């Protein structure tokens, strides 16, 4: 099982969630913008922030970390990939089964109760525009991401907890381990006696408890993990 955070996309040029945001967004705190309250009070501002991030994601490409995870999926009998990232880069690198714990930036959904509209986000419209009307009911759309204070999608939560219960190795890659319930998954693995490996160039609250810590960028460490799996398994003597 692998839990990914925005550090996995860092080497693609996607700023991590807590890196200072650049340009126009420098003066905003993502923790404040990624909330239903911010969207309710200024839908156009929040919508434009997500349009800026969509545009940025369209301009970048998966990095060796994403490709290594897609390769791991092919090499291992079972792999559950849980990502906190909303950028869709795992899928673009070839991962077929991605659990998007915090949703997806590239998809629009309708916030109107009972509408249920869900569709691919259109081309970012002109800067000043706010959320476009839902094609089904006319209410302003929102990005299909999980904001702070919102529940994790039920299927994602179920798959993550099921995987923790029966995985035999847990990788935590590129996450500051600050956001729950995602960060709780590694804690559950530790409590269940599952070996936990952290890959992160910087220490996090998980570091002291992890069984193994690889203090390296994901784009270096994950290809090395894949390479080690490719080595012929030396038959154990006897």
| Residues binding ligand BV8 (CB under 6 A) | 5-7, 10-11, 16-18, 34, 84-86, 102, 145-151, 174-176, 178-180, 199-202, 204, 217-219
Query: Shortest distance, CB of residue 54 to ligand BV8, whole angstroms?
Result: 11
Taking CB atoms, the residue at the shortest distance from ligand BV8 is: 7
Residue 206 CA: distances (Å) to CA of 7, 9, 15: 15, 20, 22
Which of 112/179 has CB closer to ligand BV8? 179
**Nearer of residues 127 and 150 to ligand BV8, judged by Cβ:** 150
As to burial, measured by CB atoms within 10 angstroms (0-12 exposed, 13-18 middle, 19+ buried), residue 107 is: middle
CA angle 226, 231, 234 (to 5 degrees): 135
Six token digits for residue 11: 């080497």
Residue 72's nearest CA partner among 85, 88, 84, 90 is 90
Catalytic residue of the set 58, 90, 102, 212: 102
Q: How far is the CB of 202 from ligand BV8 (least distance, A)?
A: 4
Question: Is residue 102 among the annotated active site residues?
Answer: yes
Report the nearest approach of ligand BV8 to the CB of residue 35 (Å): 9
| Residue 163 or 213 having the CB closest to ligand BV8 | 213
Calpha distance 206→119 (Å, rounded): 36
Active site residues: 102
């Amino acid at each position: 099982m692998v839990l990914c955070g925005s550090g996995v996309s860092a080497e693609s040029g996607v700023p991590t969630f807590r890196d200072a945001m650049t340009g126009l967004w420098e003066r905003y705190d993502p923790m404040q913008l990624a909330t239903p309250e911010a969207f309710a009070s200024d839908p156009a501002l929040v919508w434009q922030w997500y349009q800026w991030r969509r545009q940025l994601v369209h301009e970048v490409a998966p990095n060796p970390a994403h490709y290594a995870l897609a390769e791991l999926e092919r090499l291992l009998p079972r792999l559950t990939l849980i990502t906190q990232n909303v950028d869709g880069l795992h899928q673009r690198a070839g991962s077929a089964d991605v659990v998007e714990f915090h949703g997806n930036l590239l998809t629009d959904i309708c916030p109107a109760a009972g509408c249920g509209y869900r569709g691919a986000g259109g081309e970012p419209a002109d800067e000043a525009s706010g959320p476009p009307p839902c094609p089904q009911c006319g209410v302003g759309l929102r990005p299909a991401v999980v904001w702070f204070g919102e529940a994790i999608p039920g299927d994602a939560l179920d798959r993550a907890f099921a995987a923790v219960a029966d995985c035999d190795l847990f990788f935590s890659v590129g996450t500051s381990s600050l956001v729950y319930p995602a960060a709780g998954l590694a804690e559950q693995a530790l409590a269940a006696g599952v070996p936990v490996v952290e890959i992160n160039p910087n220490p996090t609250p998980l570091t002291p408890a992890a069984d193994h810590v690889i203090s390296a960028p994901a784009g270096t460490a994950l290809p090395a993990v894949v390479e080690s799996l490719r080595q012929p398994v030396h038959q154990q003597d006897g």
